[in-house]
Chain A
Amino acid sequence: MTGWRSLLLRRETGIAVMIVLFCLAVGAVKPQFLTLNSLRIILLLTPLILIGAMGQMLVIVARHVDLSIGSILGLTAMVAGMMFRYAPEVPWPLAFPLAIGLGAVLGLVNGALVTLFRLPAIIVTLGTLSLYRGMTFIISDAKQIDRQYVPSALKAMSQTSPVFGIPWIIFIAFGVALLTWWFAMHTRIGRQVFALGSNPVAAPLRGINVTRVTLTVFAISGALSGLAGIMYASRWGFVNPSNTGNGFEFQVIAAVVIGGVSINGGVGTVPGVVLGVLLLGCVSAALPLLGIPGTTQSAIYGAVILIALVIDRMVRMQGRTRGTQRAGA
């Protein structure tokens, strides 16, 4: 297969083309969509989803799924918020290791249940989705952490930075994406994630410690959800026990699936997922501009996921008949 053809057939190219076409179409109706300001709005919509999607991508590549990330986001954000409220003397940046560490532990619990008891991740994380959300209510006594308790310096991270005035959280999110890319491509364990996902049966024979790899992906997914929890407090300035992180898992899974990560494991790329997140961001930003009511958003997400699944399936069927193989990362 020639270079340009393989480039054309790549999932990333397809999504990039879709983004451009979508933006041009919206811009034709509403020219103000094609401005720097729109870019700012879109980029500000994406950091949380992008961070969550990096973890979820690794989990799905390893042939699992993590439905509990929204509840982990809520619980870690609440713990950080309670630190701000009840222990204001603690330096606020400590909230980062606290939330990330707690998220990693919650993720490890998922991973441990999946590996030690050989349980399907979807049921385990459906259970912990409920469990972690309940814990959020209990530790907070069902009380919201109001804006006044969240440190101004943390809130400012969503608004400013020294570089071109692009908010810090956007840098952090893309930094996480870069790290994930490096992890997936250039570390041994990262490559093992892909090997495990493409053939779980053969993985132990190839010297892969399945337990360790599985625990690692769930811990990363949890830790990144914890980071997203802090980002939530920064972006929205409050933490609510019931709303914070609710439904996050669906947005993230949508982005990951659109980004070309195969739910059959072993296949997925960081650039693809980043583009998937951006495409969802474009859709979210364009709907209100076009005057389309927010009630349609959920249906659009659902339809987009299904279309992505069907396309993915078609591509794989075609790939198989032509005898070509799509590599991992």
Chain B
Amino acid sequence: MLRKSTLIGLTAGLAMLAGAAMAEPLKIVYIGKNTGNPYFDSITGGFEDACKSLGCEFEFVAPATAEATSQIPFIEAQIQRGVNVIGIAPNSPDALNEVLASAREKGILVLTVNGDITGSEQYRDATILPVNFDIVGRDQVELVGSLIGYEGEIAILSATTEAPDQNKWIVGMNETLKSDPKYAKMKLVATVYGDDQPEKSTTEMEALLANFPNLKGVIAPTTVGIAAAAQVVQSRGLAETVKVTGLGLPSEMRDFIKDGTVTAFQLWSPYNEGWLAVHFAKGVLDGSIKNEVGGTFEVPNLGTITINPNNSINTQAELTTFDAKNIDEFNF
């Protein structure tokens, strides 16, 4: 048994050293937050296609639930399997530190994809995020402003109270509203949290409408929240008076766009995150890409990509806006 484990360690080490020259294909695994989450279907698609074109082996695994520790046995198992690259959408900013450290000790390249371990960055090699999260708040305020004529009361319906990404965007929204005179006539009256559950998001949305009868717009920067908010507005026939927008999946929002409940919303391409992650990982392991801040590399279809401070890599510069004109062009 001991011999076996040494053997595995050896193969992994060899694969690292030899890189692309090895006959053995690169083994890449992506660990999602949980199974049954439609958002990850699209990311996985990007991983799969890139692995097909570059000749890597790819597997997607995910625990049944998204609680903080559920990913740990899966990471341990992948270390044991001797994969070369672990991509992960972390369920916790710090509970995975130990096991990620032991993965990197074995020479595995650890990438956080579509979410970072903020505050524990030293436990991963790089992070791949869809856009620079600093601009999300600004763009979302601009979008809701354009929908309500830059005047009136707005509210935010977020995910959980501690969701790190959403909180970063909310800070951005507050700063934009305060600093830019363009938005001086818009007033943020409330920020509420639907915990990414349809039931809670719906009751929070109903409470917003009851508490703020003059509400003009709602930003829901979470896929569950925006769908729940849109459904409330749709069933109460308020689409004209209260504009719902935020970040949503085209597949979940198509009906609301078509019947006019929602005029426009934003997101990025999750597919490209997977596509970029594979190209980056392959390049780093065969030595053609240096994982250094300020470095650049080429990715087919995406052009030149820069490695930003904190080894953070973005797949696109701006958010994509979806509306009645372009919604049918997207199939995720």
Are chains A and B touching in the complex at the 8 Å CB cutoff?
yes
Q: Which among A13-21, A197-205, A240-248 touches the partner chain?
A: A240-248
Known contacts A146-B251, A147-B255; is-contact A288 B35 (Cβ 8 Å): no
Q: Does A325 interact with chain B (Cβ within 8 Å)?
A: no
Residue of A nearest to B34 (CB): A242
Residue of A nearest to B231 (CB): A237
Q: Is the CB of A241 within 8 A of B206?
A: no
Distance of A237 Cα from B253 Cα, bound (Å): 11
Residue of B nearest to A246 (CB): B65
Q: Is the CB of A148 within 8 A of B251?
A: yes
Known contacts A32-B210, A37-B210, A242-B34; is-contact A45 B199 (Cβ 8 Å): yes
Query: Which of A35, A146, A295: most chain B CB closer than 10 A?
Result: A146
Known contacts A148-B254, A158-B235; is-contact A143 B41 (Cβ 8 Å): yes
Q: Is the CB of A238 within 8 A of B252?
A: yes
Q: Is the CB of A288 within 8 A of B207?
A: yes
Q: Does A178 interact with chain B (Cβ within 8 Å)?
A: no
Within 8 A of A (CB), among B5-51: 34-38, 41
Q: Is the CB of B161 within 8 A of A293?
A: yes
Distance of A111 Cα from B27 Cα, bound (Å): 47
Q: Is the CB of A38 within 8 A of B210?
A: yes
Interface size class of A (residues with CB under 8 A): 35 or more
Q: Does B203 interact with chain A (Cβ within 8 Å)?
A: yes
Q: A229 to chain B: closest CB distance in Å?
A: 15
Contact with B along A143-159 (1 / 0, CB 8 A): 11011100000000011
Residue of A nearest to B197 (CB): A243
Distance of A198 Cα from B227 Cα, bound (Å): 47
Q: Which residues of B contact A148 (CB under 8 A)?
A: 251, 254-255
Task: Tell me the interface secondary structure of chain B in the complex.
Answer: helix
Q: Does B193 interact with chain A (Cβ within 8 Å)?
A: yes
Q: Is the CB of A236 within 8 A of B198?
A: yes
Distance of A250 Cα from B255 Cα, bound (Å): 32
Contact with B along A265-305 (1 / 0, CB 8 A): 00000000000000000001101110001110100000000
Contact with B along A19-47 (1 / 0, CB 8 A): 00000000000101101011001000100
Q: Which residues of B contact A41 (CB under 8 A)?
A: 203, 206, 210
Please tell me which one of the listed residues B161, B197, B203 contacts residue A288 in the complex, with CB atoms under 8 A apart: B203
Q: Does A137 interact with chain B (Cβ within 8 Å)?
A: yes
Within 8 A of A (CB), among B232-288: 234-235, 251-252, 254-255
Distance of A288 Cα from B38 Cα, bound (Å): 28
Q: Which residues of A contact B194 (CB under 8 A)?
A: 294
Known contacts A147-B252, A236-B198; is-contact A159 B35 (Cβ 8 Å): no
Q: Which residues of B contact A238 (CB under 8 A)?
A: 227, 252
Known contacts A158-B235, A238-B252, A289-B211; is-contact A146 B38 (Cβ 8 Å): yes
Q: Does A142 interact with chain B (Cβ within 8 Å)?
A: yes
Q: Does A115 interact with chain B (Cβ within 8 Å)?
A: no
Distance of A169 Cα from B294 Cα, bound (Å): 58
Q: Does B99 interact with chain A (Cβ within 8 Å)?
A: no
Q: Which residues of A contact B34 (CB under 8 A)?
A: 242
Q: Which residues of A contact B204 (CB under 8 A)?
A: 288, 294
Distance of A158 Cα from B202 Cα, bound (Å): 13
Q: A41 to chain B: closest CB distance in Å?
A: 5
Q: Does B143 interact with chain A (Cβ within 8 Å)?
A: no
Contact with B along A250-274 (1 / 0, CB 8 A): 0000000000000000000000000
Please tell me which one of the listed residues A37, A45, A143, A295 contacts residue B36 in the complex, with CB atoms under 8 A apart: A143
Known contacts A38-B210, A45-B203; is-contact A137 B35 (Cβ 8 Å): yes
Please tell me which one of the listed residues B37, B193, B200, B210 contacts residue A242 in the complex, with CB atoms under 8 A apart: B37
In the complex, the 9 A-B pairs of residues with the closest C-beta atoms, listed nearest first? A288-B207, A241-B36, A242-B36, A142-B35, A144-B38, A159-B235, A289-B207, A142-B36, A288-B204
Contact surface of B with A, Cβ cutoff 8 Å: 34-38, 41, 64-65, 161, 192-195, 197-200, 203-204, 206-207, 210-211, 227, 231, 234-235, 251-252, 254-255
21 residue pairs A–B, Cβ–Cβ below 8 Å:
A30-B211, A33-B210, A45-B199, A137-B35, A137-B64, A140-B36, A143-B41, A144-B38, A146-B251, A147-B227, A236-B231, A241-B36, A242-B35, A242-B64, A242-B65, A243-B198, A288-B200, A289-B210, A293-B193, A294-B193, A294-B195
Known: A240-B36, A297-B200. 13 other contacts (CB 8 A): A38-B210, A41-B203, A133-B64, A143-B41, A147-B227, A148-B254, A242-B35, A243-B198, A284-B203, A288-B204, A288-B206, A288-B207, A294-B194
